[in-house]
Chain A
Amino acid sequence: MPAAKTIRAIGHRTINAVWRIGMATRFFFLILMYSGSSFRRFHLIIKELFSTGVMSLIIIVVAGLFVGMVLGLQGYETLKRYGSESALGVMVALGLVRELGPVVAALLFASRAGSAMTAEIGLMKATEQISAMEMMAVHPIARIVAPRFWAGIISMPLLAALFSAVGVFGGYFVGVVQIGVDEGSFWAQMQAAVDFEHDILNGVIKSFVFGTAVTVIALFEGYDAPPTAEGVSGATTRTVVTSSLAILMLDFILTAMMFGGS
């Protein structure tokens, strides 16, 4: 009976998905529970900040610069039609601070740092390092997972802010230096139109939420990976795919809550 088989397969996948969401939620609460002991080992968080944050700097800065430059070009072309080229600075800044900064930085963070976290923890599991730690009476969530979680949470808003800042300079370079938009109105209109609470703070909240989502997904996938080469590779792929979808979905929800109808 192919129909019965299909229904059974759909049911199996649904139950599996619900089960994994439950496990991931429990995992998230365990991380919070063991965070106290990871703060007592703050040097571990510093070490992870280096590998997740500092090591992501180059990709963030380069991507931010190019995204800003493209925004400068596209923005100028559009604004010119309405004779509003002087508002280029506002467009670039709002586009970056509200949307592109948090979203693109989070997507890059998921691909660069998230996949590395999953692969590292998955391989630690496959080589019995996590079992060894448990047998030494050290909880792996406190020692391995929680420091990475907090490093992800701390680095994500900083990376997004840096992305936006570099992007603004990219827009400035194309708009002001290359095309010749008036420098004074570029900066002055940006300063007048970008609101700290409404724009910048909301962008920071977004990047904080994205950082939490990406880090939890990456850590859970690594911790839950079957201890084989195929298992770790599948988990790494799932981290990038699930994180990216989660970022875009959360972005819509947050944007609707923050800016919808205003």
Chain B
Amino acid sequence: MSASNLVEIRDLNFTYDKRPVLQGINMNFPKGKLIAIMGLSGCGKTTLLRLIGGALIPTKGYVKVDGQNIHELNQDGLYDMRRKMGMLFQFGALFTDMSVYDNVAFQMREHTDLPEELIHDLVLMKLHAVGLRGTHNLMPSELSGGMARRVALARTVSLDPMLIMYDEPFAGLDPISLTVVGDLIRRLNDALGATSIVVTHDVQESLKIVDYVYFMANGVIVAEGTPDEIRASDRDFVHQFVHGEMDGPVPFHYPGGNYRQDLNLQA
């Protein structure tokens, strides 16, 4: 494994219920970089993220995080590794029975012996970093979708992880929240010196903030490059995806039978 890569994936295959979800995936995630994995819904992006986090076991191949094969670790080893990771779930996954403050303090209380006064200051600093210090007394149900995502981001980075994973961080956000979240992802990555992996299908926002992009379709990598290379790509799939065109290699129609026959019309 190259010393410059925090995460290395080699020949990764994953099959679910006899259906191949990922096939022959090779990826590098260099330290300090912000990398996007893009592709259509259902192409295996989130599955890949869960494999990196050790929540799923690959059928073949390996994932190395910080030099360790994540799937060869026992539960204690995996949990030790996860303490150095952070994951932002699609809709935040805030604990609904806890206040914003307790959500952000959760990992500090579980994994450290820090005194409550210090936790208090750290929580407020994390919330301040995402612009939501004033919400610490609120419950998650009192937050908007964008605010919940930012609180979840504060919780994700509460222990200053070396690897941060984002699962569709831009889904369902208004344009302002989208820009705010995108900017926060970039700034937090640089401020913490972390490595970030963003799984998304939001092309325009992602290309503004990331260092490198992997494009996936049907469980394989179909293209990769820097944002400028992706924008300039003449590959049909990438062109259709980046420009949001209706027809192309990804057809508008889901495969089906003969249209006239389905409508019971004579040929």
Contacts and interface: CB of A to CB of B under 8 A. Distances in A.
A131 interface: yes
B8 to A, nearest CB: 20
Contacts of B107: 136, 138
A165 B96 CA distance: 37
A135 B94 CA distance: 13
A135 B87 contact: yes
B89 A131 contact: yes
B82 A137 contact: yes
Contacts of B55: 131, 134-135
B91 A128 contact: yes
Contact of B95 (A129, A134, A135, A139): A129
B123 interface: no
A132 B87 contact: yes
A132 B93 CA distance: 6
Given A135-B55, A135-B87, A138-B110, A129 B96 contact: yes
B83 A135 contact: no
A127 interface: yes
A129 B93 contact: yes
B91 A135 contact: no
A75 to B, nearest CB: 45
Interface in A225-251: none
Contact of A137 (B83, B89, B96): B83
Nearest to B158: A136
Contacts of A143: 110
A127 B55 CA distance: 16
B85 A135 contact: yes
Interface of B: 53, 55, 78-80, 82-83, 85-87, 89-91, 93-96, 106-107, 110-111
Contacts of A127: 91, 93, 96
Contacts of A128: 89-91, 93
Interface of A: 124, 127-129, 131-139, 143
B89 A132 contact: yes
Contacts of B79: 137, 139
B244 to A, nearest CB: 28
A27 B258 CA distance: 50
A216 B56 CA distance: 26
Contacts of A139: 79
Given A134-B55, A137-B79, A137-B80, 11 more contacts: A124-B95, A124-B96, A128-B89, A131-B89, A132-B87, A132-B89, A134-B82, A136-B107, A136-B110, A137-B82, A137-B111
Nearest to B76: A137
A143 B80 CA distance: 17
B91 A136 contact: no
Contacts of A135: 53, 55, 82, 85-87
Q: Which one of B80, B91, B93, B111 has the greatest number of beta carbons of chain A within 10 Å? A: B93
A138 B103 CA distance: 13
Contacts of A138: 106-107, 110
B107 to A, nearest CB: 5
A120 to B, nearest CB: 8
A135 B165 CA distance: 10
Nearest to B89: A128
A139 B82 CA distance: 12
30 contacts: A124-B96, A127-B91, A128-B89, A128-B90, A128-B93, A129-B93, A129-B94, A129-B95, A129-B96, A131-B55, A131-B93, A132-B89, A132-B93, A132-B95, A134-B82, A135-B82, A135-B85, A135-B86, A135-B87, A136-B82, A136-B106, A136-B107, A136-B110, A137-B79, A137-B82, A137-B83, A137-B110, A137-B111, A138-B106, A138-B110
A127 B111 CA distance: 23
A128 B82 CA distance: 17
B66 to A, nearest CB: 15
Nearest to A120: B97
A207 to B, nearest CB: 27
A138 B82 CA distance: 9
Nearest to B165: A135
A137 B79 CA distance: 5
A223 to B, nearest CB: 16
